[in-house]
C-alpha cells in the first residue's frame, strides 16, 4: 500500500525537499529507523552553526557507528570532530577528519586478530575507501529534521528485501548495473566512506563492530547515496508500486504453480 504523493517535476533538492523524500521512502519501504544525512565541514564553526546540533560530552568518545545509531534511532543531530572518536580507531580517517596512523597502515593494529599476517592487515587498510583528510567535522542528522541543507549523502538501514526494491527503484527509469565493494571489517568504509568520497550509491553489509557497538541488527544492511539518487529511487519505487511491486513482498508459495503470479509481476503494463 502506498499513500505517498506522486512526484512530478524534480523539485529543488534543498533540506525540506529531501525531508519530504525521506518521508516517502519510509512509507514505501516501512523502515524501522529514521533515514539520516551526513555533511562534511572544512570549517568547524560552520558545523557548529547547524540548528539543534549536539556535541558528545567533553572527554567522551564514540565510534562513528554509535553516533549514526544515536541519530537514526533517537533522532539526534550530532556534530563530531577528531576528539569525539576513539584515537585507536580508524573512524576519523574513513570520514576525512585525519589520515590513518602508521599502526593501521603498517598492518600492526589488526595483525593476528582480523588477519593472519601483517601483510594481509596492511592490504586491508590500503584498499579501504577513505575521504580525503581535509575536513574539520562531520554532522549527522535525521533527514526529517531538514537541518543539513543539503546533506552530502543520505543513508538508511533496511533488510535485504527493502534494499533490492530500493535498487529496483534506482533502475526503474534509467537502468544501470551496480557493483558494490566489500571491505569486510571496517565496513563503514563501504557505506558512508565510499559514498562521501565518490558521491555514488554505496551498499554495505555492516561489520562486526557496527553490530557490536552500533547496535545494527542481524538482518540490517546499509544504503548510502547522494540526495539526487534518493530522488531517483523514490520516483522509481512509486512507479513500481503502481505496477503492484511493493514492500512487503507477499510470498506466492514455493509449491504453487507460478504462472498466475508471474503474469502480473512480469507482464507488460502498457
Could you report the per-residue pLDDT of 28-51, keeping only the tens digit for each?
999 999 999 999 999 999 999 999
- Asked whether residue 7 carries a pLDDT value surpassing 80, the answer given is no
Higher pLDDT, 78 or 267: 78
Q: What average pLDDT does this structure show over 75-104?
A: 93
Q: What is the pLDDT of residue 5?
A: 40
Whether residue 36 lies inside any domain: the answer is: yes
Helix (H) or strand (E) holding 223: strand 221-225
Q: 128 in a domain, yes or no?
A: yes
The pLDDT score that the predictor gives to residue 255 is 86
Which domain covers residue 157, as residue numbers? 15-248
Burial of 73 (0-12, 13-18, 19+ CB in 10 A): middle
Residue 21 is inside which H or E element, if any? helix 15-29
Where are the alpha helices (H) located in 98-221, listed in sequence order? 102-105, 118-127, 160-171, 192-198, 208-212
Is 254 inside any structural domain? no
Residue 194 within a domain: yes
User: Distance (Å, rounded) from C-alpha 3 to C-alpha 27?
Assistant: 8
User: Residues with Cβ < 8 Å from 216, sequence gap 6 or more?
Assistant: 65, 69, 157, 206, 210, 222
- The answer to whether 161 and 25 are in contact (CB under 8 A) is no
Q: What pLDDT, on a 0 to 100 scale, did the predictor assign at position 99? A: 93
**Residues in CB range of 142: below 8 A, 6 or more apart:** 22, 34, 35, 36, 37, 71, 72, 75, 77
pTM above the 0.85 mark? yes
Among 89-98, 164-173, 215-224, 248-257, the least confident range = 248-257
**pLDDT at res. 261:** 86
Task: Specify if 264 maps to a domain.
Answer: no
| CA pseudo-torsion sign 189, 190, 192, 196 | positive
Residue 211 clears pLDDT 80, i.e. is over it: yes
| Residues 117, 119, 122, 127, CA torsion sign | negative
Question: Does a structural domain hold residue 204?
Answer: yes
Residue 1 falls inside a structural domain: no
Average pLDDT of 204-219? Answer: 97
CA distance 193 to 260: 44
The domain total for the chain is 1
Rounded to an integer, the average pLDDT of 79-97 is: 93
Q: Give the residue-averaged pLDDT of 220-235.
A: 98
C-alpha cell at 241: 508500486
Q: From CA 199, how far away is CA 123, in angstroms rounded?
A: 24
pLDDT band for position 67 (cuts 50, 70, 90): very high
| pLDDT tens column, 100-157 | 988 888 999 899 999 999 999 999 999 999 999 999 999 999 999 999 999 999 999 9
Does residue 132 form part of some domain? Answer: yes
Inter-residue contact 223 to 202 (CB < 8 Å): yes
pLDDT confidence of residue 2: 40
| Confidence tier at 11 by pLDDT (50, 70, 90) | low
Amino acid at each position: 500500500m502506498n499513500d505517498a504523493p506522486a512526484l512530478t517535476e524534480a523539485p529543488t533538492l534543498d533540506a525540506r525537499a529531501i525531508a519530504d523524500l525521506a518521508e516517502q521512502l519510509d512509507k514505501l519501504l516501512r523502515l524501522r529507523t529514521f533515514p539520516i544525512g551526513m555533511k562534511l565541514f572544512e570549517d568547524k564553526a560552520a558545523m557548529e552553526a547547524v540548528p539543534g546540533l549536539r556535541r558528545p560530552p567533553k572527554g567522551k568518545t564514540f565510534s562513528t557507528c554509535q553516533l549514526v545509531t544515536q541519530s537514526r534511532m533517537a533522532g539526534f543531530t550530532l556534530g563530531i570532530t577528531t576528539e569525539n572518536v576513539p584515537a585507536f580507531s580508524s573512524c576519523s580517517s574513513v570520514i576525512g577528519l585525519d589520515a590513518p596512523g602508521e599502526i593501521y597502515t603498517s598492518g600492526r593494529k589488526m595483525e593476528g586478530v582480523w588477519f593472519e599476517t601483517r601483510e594481509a592487515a596492511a592490504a586491508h587498510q590500503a584498499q579501504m575507501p577513505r575521504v580525503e583528510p581535509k575536513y574539520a567535522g562531520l554532522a549527522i542528522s535525521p533527514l526529517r529534521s531538514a537541518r543539513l541543507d543539503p546533506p552530502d549523502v543520505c543513508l538508511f538501514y533496511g533488510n535485504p528485501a527493502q534494499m533490492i526494491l530500493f535498487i529496483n527503484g534506482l533502475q526503474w527509469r534509467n537502468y544501470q548495473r551496480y557493483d558494490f565493494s566489500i571491505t569486510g571489517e571496517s565496513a563503514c568504509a563501504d557505506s558512508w566512506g565510499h559514498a562521501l568520497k565518490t558521491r555514488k550509491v554505496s551498499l554495505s553489509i555492516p561489520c562486526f563492530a557496527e553490530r557490536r557497538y552500533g547496535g545494527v541488527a542481524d538482518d540490517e544492511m546499509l544504503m548510502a547515496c547522494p540526495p539526487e539518487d534518493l530522488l531517483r529511487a523514490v520516483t522509481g519505487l512509486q512507479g513500481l508500486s503502481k505496477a503492484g511491486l511493493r514492500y512487503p513482498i507477499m510470498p506466492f508459495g514455493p509449491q504453487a504453480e507460478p504462472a498466475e503470479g508471474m503474469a502480473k509481476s512480469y507482464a507488460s503494463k502498457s
